[in-house]
Structure 1
């Protein structure tokens, strides 16, 4: 039997180096493209009537709205937390909203926010979001919805005694940030704070009231997802019959 000559030491070293590099590449390469594939979500879904209504890359599952309304000032302030599922890899995304924004957090981390159009918030999280990720966005705001108009509409109905946030096809952006298109239905959890003695009616079922000095927070919750333009509240000196 003829015994084959051993590989030269240099060849053995090169083979080992090649195997090591291949292993390293297999371990590292799949992790790199995640950020590179992320793109901004579109500022609208391309509706034939209202092209920038709604936003690309998002599926909102739930809105938790906490607003306070001051009747004499016509001022609305509060914060809304949206539970969202990313439908694409996102480097940034848009929400529809008209009031001044104080701060935004994504998954509890402060995020950059810009307003490329009156109706649009562009939110850039600290880290890109992978498709399929569920996350929460908290937007804090303060402003006067009465004078605000959008696309020829001024939908805020209020005086010093009553306010009614109800209209079609647009209403949400005057009082909470939204993915404002009927194709994206979501659960609504609405808390409205007003002076004691005023009543609040909103979507769903009343689930509680909490008094804090001269203020009362009225809490309503819907059991089924709804379009954002259907979300509403009315507050004033009402007589409520059940």
Structure 2
């Protein structure tokens, strides 16, 4: 996270009704306006097939990683103990303002520094933030850390992008990779003159995800694809 955190500040300003400029994602000369309203503030209900599929894999105590403004956490905390974490102080404050009961500033890539062993029964990560692990080795390290803070019977649902899907090249900041089943995205955010650090998100196919879980204490139990095809949710369980 950049010390100025334009990403988190723009989203908080939007929540407070104080945002007069767009949050811009930039990849060289290519830009797009970050769709804050659509990405973060739509209410979650349990009525859709997608949400029912996610709910079936999760139980409390639940860790919601990269929780954004807490939209999913607000939904889940009515059903089970939920801890929502974000690296951005602006987003943590926004979650707290919106009524998230247990919103904490924590790094999802340093979980053992924040939580005790066997703390959680389930884990959720929406928004493909897991790709910030950056590499297959980084993904394995993340999954290994995740096993330390979850119970032996734990489950997880994570969001990823599949570079083997024909439409994956449509993703903003897409970069090809010569290795089968891998690619990445590269871009940064700008808001009111502040510029974030460059984000590198690793894209992995379901097969490469299965490969990454070997030796981490997890296995891929199921895959659910969204309408785009390249976006998918993976249900993992401890082994």
Structure number with higher strand proportion: 1
Larger radius of gyration: 1
Into which bin does the TM-score normalised by the smaller protein fall? under 0.3
Structure number with higher helix proportion: 2
What TM-score results when the alignment is normalised by the length of structure 1? Answer: 0.24
What TM-score results when the alignment is normalised by the length of structure 2? Answer: 0.24
